[in-house]
Structure 1
Amino acid sequence: MIVPPAPVRCLGVDPGSLACGWAVVERFGSRLALLEAGVVRNPRGADFDQRALRIHERLTEAIATHAPGFMAVESPFVEKNAATALKLGQIRGGILLTAALHRLPVGDYNPMQVKKAVSGYGWAAKEQVGKMVMTLLNLKDPLPADAADAAAVAIGHLLASRRA
Structure 2
Amino acid sequence: MRTIGIDPGTAIMGWGIVEQHAGAVSLIACGTFTTPKQMPQSERLVSLYCDLVACLDQYKPDSAGVEELFFAKNVSTALTVGQARGVALLALGQAGVDIHEYKPMFVKQTVSGYGKADKAQMQEVVRLTLRMQTIIKPDDAADAVAIALCHLYNAPMLQRIKDARTT
* 2:111 alignment partner AA: V
Q: 2:140 aligns with which of 138, 146, 154?
A: 146
Matches within 5 A, 1:6-21: 8-21=1-14
Match of 2:128 in 1: 135
Amino acid at match of 2:146: A
Displacement of 1:138 after TM fit? Answer: 1.5
Which residue identity does 1:153 align to in structure 2? I
Q: Secondary structure at the match of 2:131?
A: coil
Deviations 1:40-99 (A, max 9, x none): 121111111121122112211221111100111001231121111111111111110001
Out of 115, 119, 143, the position equivalent to 1:126 is: 119
Distance between the aligned counterparts of 1:152 and 1:18, measured in 2?
Answer: 20
Cα offsets for 1:115-152 (capped at 9, x unmatched): 01110111111110011111111122221110000000
Q: How many residues end up aligned between the 2 structures?
A: 157
Q: How does 1:1-164 map to 2 (within 5 A)?
A: 8-143=1-136, 144-164=138-158
Provide the secondary structure at the position in 2 that maps to 1:46.
Answer: coil
What is the deviation of 1:39?
A: 0.8
Q: Which runs of 4+ in 1 moved over 6 A?
A: none
Q: TM-score, normalised by structure 1?
A: 0.91
Unaligned runs of 5+ in 2: 159-167
Give the Cα separation in 1 of the matches to 2:149 and 2:106: 11
RMSD (CA atoms): 1.1
Going by fraction, where is helix more abundant, 1 or 2?
Answer: 2
Q: Which consecutive residues of structure 1, in runs of 5 or more, have no partner in the other structure?
A: 1-7
Once residues 14 and 3 of structure 2 are traced to their aligned partners in structure 1, the CA distance between those partners, rounded to angstroms, is: 14
